[in-house]
Amino acid sequence: MIAIDEIKATANRLKVLADNTESVEEKVMANFLCTNLIEIAAQANLISKSPQFKQQVEQEQSEMKGEKCDQ
């Protein structure tokens, strides 16, 4: 899923920042954000496989089809 890939890509960029900065503040913040984004990506991955998420996707698809018919 592209949205989850984008979270992972951002975490990777923050890791690069942390590994290449001389600023302790930047390193600490980048590591903090990277850790949190990795956790968010893992949660999003689990959510995307849940029945509730699939049901919500189906509902959105049905609503989108209904909107097209109304026009």
Tens of pLDDT along 24-39?
999 999 999 999 999 9
In whole angstroms, what is the distance from residue 61 CA to residue 55 CA? 10
What integer is the mean pLDDT of 54-66? 92
Place of tokens 């984008």: 6
For 71, which DSSP code?
-
Tens of pLDDT along 9-26?
999 999 999 999 999 999
Listed by start position, the domains of the chain span 2-70
Percentage of the chain exceeding pLDDT 90? 87
Q: What is the pLDDT of residue 66?
A: 80
